[in-house]
């Protein structure tokens, strides 16, 4: 039985009067010098006073001259006493003292794996850990030698190590060894998956993220959340086939319609992102359409996070320009999500009709180096602070330097939500008495859509991220005279609010020093250079054939292919297609990705003409091309994402390059390539537009948005 503190010292222990405890045990040792337990507790009392040297001396003096067998026994007793005291201190919320006790327990018994795990957790949690201790304490060796390891304690240690050491290489190595020796390695899956995503998205550690991600999949191959998160890590790291394999595994595991829809959506997205799997894209999209039709026909109850389905129709907009069909499907899925939303009673404070300043909140997951971040920042800069009180809500994202500069400092109040509790976020927004809540991500983020579905504000608006989400609680969707056809309202649940000229405007873009030149690409100085700089999502063989047809008809022309995708796979595919279309593959160029956005924009200058994608046209990418003064050829469609570039060209006053058919697309591409005077005329128009186009006047755009907000607020009262 493990000895305990003498009951007579417990009041002093609880009051942390350790000097009295020391005095008590000094008297006890004098009264009975043969009772070693008194020395153990005397030394421990000194340790609680943080007099480590006296504690050690007391223990050593008590054991001096003991035979080996007795020494082993008494060491075991002292170990038990220290273990119990460490637990007691932790219960008393004295973690630093608990760490100190366990540190001395480690010196007494360096091979105690359980104590070592506790010690690491305490040290990491309380900033008492130094990296060199991993080696000094022989952590890997001790854990390997342990007869039994507590799986949950090992999981806690792994979690703390990954979360508090910035993914140090020694730590990542040790975590890999922990997977090898863990008695139940699957319990580590959650920690590995979580920190793999953090390593990639928040800490900029792609190699570590991939390593941890592969470990997570290895130890817990059936965890849907882990597989999904790691799939996106693999995609971002350029491991397209690994990501596709994970998505297929999810499809095979899916045993309900909602899970089938989610997994097939992911599989479709990963094939699209790679940019060179078009036959598979068509096959999977057909399967996905069937799954969604069955889901809508049966309308099953979806017990957990129904809004994860909100993005399942999204990939169809990359495949087909079908305004009526795509919108109908999006609206129906959004209604299914809404119908499965858990109830939440929000308390809204009374508002007055003439409330001034009007309180506007912006909600997003993408207020960072991201298209939504780069484009929305200007609106927040130019808001009238006397007429509008601006709140920004970050949902599940880290606040970076860019975020702080553009989205925290200019506003009245900023709020940060973890990203896994839409109910909490909705409640907080309601408590802040927001009048108009603006969703910046549209259907691009499930959590943001879920917050909007709770209607935390009386007027709710969707703007910027992409096509409308279809969530029934959204009142308005911001558009302009061009980005949607006149008849589009019949396909939207939201009321389309068309601004006078453009639905987005910026004051410009940061541009760095170019790192890409014609010389570095081995392109003659007098050549005509065409450029496509779209992600793999937006590439497809029909448009590539049109682009190659342009190249075939323009002598001394080259095609620079950029944008995030499986560039090696795309290169192989395009070279085959070029040969089939009568274009020498040596006229194709595939430069590597740029290190940052400012360099990317500078490197656009290598091109004479940009060739847009379809049915999903450029958005922020088109704005960057036009800002750099590069003529653009775009094909106009019906759906929102097929008309972005058309809207931007219309707003800069350039009609050259706007095509309404495949034939016109090729014709404009050829004309701009062959006719230098025409090309120079367009370049001149684009440069002049910088000074007078509404596209480059974010201040006036902000006034237009503010006028829209005032009218929306008035309409709200008129319709009560």
In total, how many domains does the chain have? 4
For residue 340, what pLDDT is reported?
Answer: 95
Residue finishing a domain among 133, 163, 183: 183
For residue 172, what pLDDT is reported?
Answer: 94
Cα Rg, the chain, nearest whole Å: 32
DSSP per-residue string spanning 4-15: ---GGGHHHHHT
User: Residue 588 contacts by C-beta under 8 Å, 6 or more apart in sequence?
Assistant: 558, 559, 561, 571, 574, 575, 578
Domain region containing 580: 528-696
CATH at residue 608:
3.40.50.2000
77 and 110 part of one domain: yes
Closest CA to 384 of 418, 410, 417: 410
Query: Is there a cis peptide before residue 615, judged by omega within 30 degrees of 0?
Result: yes
Residue 681 above 80 pLDDT?
A: yes
For residue 346, what pLDDT is reported?
Answer: 87
What tokens were used for 528? 């005509």
In a domain, 353, yes or no: no
Q: What is the mean pLDDT of the chain?
A: 94
Mean pLDDT, residues 340-360 taken together = 86
% of residues, the chain, pLDDT over 70: 100
For residue 400, what pLDDT is reported?
Answer: 85
For residue 532, what pLDDT is reported?
Answer: 97
For residues 361 and 351, what is the distance between their CA atoms, to the nearest angstrom?
15
Residue 113 above 90 pLDDT?
A: yes
For residues 584 and 578, what is the distance between their CA atoms, to the nearest angstrom?
6
134 and 263 part of one domain: no
Between 276 and 201, the higher pLDDT residue: 276
Residue 116 above 80 pLDDT?
A: yes
179 and 282 part of one domain: no
For residue 460, what pLDDT is reported?
Answer: 98
In a domain, 520, yes or no: no
Mean pLDDT, residues 559-579 taken together = 94
For residue 351, what pLDDT is reported?
Answer: 81
Residue finishing a domain among 481, 498, 515: 498
For residue 55, what pLDDT is reported?
Answer: 94
**611 with 530: CB under 8 angstroms?**
yes
36-57 pLDDT per residue, tens: 999 999 999 999 999 999 999 9
Residue 642 above 90 pLDDT?
A: yes
Residue finishing a domain among 143, 166, 183: 183
In a domain, 219, yes or no: no
CATH at residue 486:
3.40.50.11380
393-436 pLDDT per residue, tens: 999 888 888 899 999 999 999 999 987 889 999 999 999 999 99
279 and 423 part of one domain: no
**432 with 408: CB under 8 angstroms?**
no
For residues 299 and 340, what is the distance between their CA atoms, to the nearest angstrom?
10
677, burial (CB in 10 Å: exposed 0-12, middle 13-18, buried 19+)? exposed
In a domain, 1, yes or no: no
Q: How far is C-alpha 717 from the geometric centre of its chain's CA atoms?
A: 38
Instruction: Identify the band that residue 708 occupies on the pLDDT scale cut at 50, 70 and 90.
Output: very high
Mean pLDDT, residues 259-269 taken together = 96
454-486 pLDDT per residue, tens: 999 999 999 999 999 999 999 999 999 999 999
543 and 445 part of one domain: no
Q: Is the dihedral angle over the CA atoms 195, 198, 204, 209 positive or is it negative?
A: positive
404 and 335 part of one domain: no
319 and 254 part of one domain: yes
What stretch of H or E contains 610? strand 609-611
In a domain, 222, yes or no: no
In a domain, 178, yes or no: yes
293-319 pLDDT per residue, tens: 999 999 998 877 889 999 999 999 999
**442 with 468: CB under 8 angstroms?**
yes
107 and 251 part of one domain: no
Instruction: Identify the band that residue 191 occupies on the pLDDT scale cut at 50, 70 and 90.
Output: very high
76 and 169 part of one domain: yes
Alpha helix segments (H runs only) across 32-168: 36-48, 52-63, 68-91, 95-108, 113-125, 132-136, 139-145, 151-164
What tokens were used for 265? 């959506």
For residue 349, what pLDDT is reported?
Answer: 76
For residue 306, what pLDDT is reported?
Answer: 87
For residue 312, what pLDDT is reported?
Answer: 96
DSSP classification of residue 342: P
In a domain, 710, yes or no: no
% of residues, the chain, pLDDT over 90: 87
379 and 423 part of one domain: yes
In a domain, 642, yes or no: yes
Q: Is the dihedral angle over the CA atoms 271, 277, 281, 287 positive or is it negative?
A: negative
Residue 2 above 80 pLDDT?
A: no
289 and 393 part of one domain: no
For residue 303, what pLDDT is reported?
Answer: 74
44 and 152 part of one domain: yes
């Amino acid at each position: 039985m493990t000895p305990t503190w003498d009951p007579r010292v417990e009041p002093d222990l609880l009051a942390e009067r350790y000097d009295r405890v020391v005095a008590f045990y000094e008297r006890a040792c004098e009264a009975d010098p043969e009772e070693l337990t008194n020395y153990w507790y005397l030394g421990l009392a000194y340790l609680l006073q943080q007099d480590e040297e006296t504690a050690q001396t007391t223990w050593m003096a008590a054991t001096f001259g003991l035979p080996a067998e007795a020494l082993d026994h008494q060491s075991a007793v002292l170990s038990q006493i220290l273990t119990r005291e460490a637990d007691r201190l932790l219960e008393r919320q004295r973690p630093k003292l608990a760490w100190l006790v366990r540190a001395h327990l480690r010196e007494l018994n360096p091979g105690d794996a359980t104590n070592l795990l506790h010690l690491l957790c305490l040290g990491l949690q309380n900033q008492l850990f130094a990296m060199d201790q991993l080696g000094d304490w022989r952590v890997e060796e001790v854990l390997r030698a342990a007869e039994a390891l507590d799986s949950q304690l090992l999981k806690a240690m792994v979690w703390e190590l990954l979360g508090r050491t910035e993914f140090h290489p020694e730590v990542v190595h040790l975590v890999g060894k922990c997977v090898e020796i863990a008695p139940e390695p699957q319990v580590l899956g959650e920690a590995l998956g979580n920190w793999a995503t953090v390593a990639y998205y928040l800490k900029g550690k792609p190699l570590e993220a991939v390593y941890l991600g592969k470990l997570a999949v290895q130890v817990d191959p059936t965890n849907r959340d882990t597989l999904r998160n790691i799939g996106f890590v693999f995609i971002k790291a350029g491991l397209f086939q690994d990501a596709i394999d994970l998505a297929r595994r999810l499809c095979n595991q899916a045993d309900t319609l909602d899970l089938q829809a989610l997994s097939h959506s992911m599989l479709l997205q990963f094939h699209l992102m790679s940019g060179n799997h078009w036959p598979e894209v068509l096959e999977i999209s057909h399967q996905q359409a069937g799954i969604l039709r069955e889901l809508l026909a049966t309308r099953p109850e979806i017990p957990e996070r129904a809004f994860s389905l909100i993005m399942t129709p999204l990939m169809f907009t990359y495949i087909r320009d079908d305004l009526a069909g795509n919108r109908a499907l999006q609206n129906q899925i959004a209604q299914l999500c809404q119908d499965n939303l858990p109830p939440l009673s929000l308390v809204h404070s009374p508002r007055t009709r003439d409330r001034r300043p009007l309180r506007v909140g912006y909600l997003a997951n993408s207020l960072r180096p991201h298209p939504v971040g780069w484009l929305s920042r200007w609106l927040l800069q130019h808001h009238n602070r006397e007429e509008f009180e601006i709140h920004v809500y970050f949902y599940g994202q880290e606040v970076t330097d860019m975020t702080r500069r553009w989205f925290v400092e200019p506003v009245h109040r900023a709020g940060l939500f973890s990203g896994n509790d839409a109910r909490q976020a909705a409640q907080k927004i309601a408590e802040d008495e927001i009048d108009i809540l603006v969703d910046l991500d549209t259907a691009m983020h499930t959590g943001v859509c879920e917050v909007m579905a709770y209607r935390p504000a009386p007027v709710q608006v969707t703007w910027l991220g992409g096509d409308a989400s279809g969530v029934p609680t959204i009142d308005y969707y911001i558009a302009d005279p061009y980005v949607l056809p006149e008849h589009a309202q019949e396909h939207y649940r939201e009321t389309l609010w068309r601004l006078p000229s453009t639905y987005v405007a910026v004051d410009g873009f940061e541009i760095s020093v170019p790192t890409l030149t014609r010389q570095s690409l081995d392109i003659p100085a007098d050549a005509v250079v065409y450029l496509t700089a779209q992600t793999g999502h937006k590439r497809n063989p029909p448009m590539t054939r049109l682009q190659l047809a342009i190249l075939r008809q323009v002598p001394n022309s080259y095609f620079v292919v950029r944008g995030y995708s499986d560039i090696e796979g795309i290169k192989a595919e395009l070279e085959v297609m070029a040969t089939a279309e009568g274009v020498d593959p040596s006229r194709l160029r595939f430069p590597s990705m740029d290190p940052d956005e400012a360099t990317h924009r500078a490197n656009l200058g290598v091109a004479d003409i940009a060739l847009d994608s379809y049915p999903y046209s450029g958005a922020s990418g088109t704005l960057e091309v036009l800002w750099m003064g590069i003529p653009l050829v775009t094909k106009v469609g019906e759906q929102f994402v097929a008309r972005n570039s058309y809207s931007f060209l219309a707003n800069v006053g350039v009609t050259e390059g706007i095509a309404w058919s495949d034939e016109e697309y090729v014709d404009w591409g050829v004309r701009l390539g062959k006719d230098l005077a025409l090309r120079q005329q367009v370049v001149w128009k684009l440069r002049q537009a910088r000074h007078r186009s509404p596209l480059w006047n974010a201040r006036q755009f902000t006034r237009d948005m503010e006028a829209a907000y005032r009218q929306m607020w008035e309409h709200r009262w008129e319709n009560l």
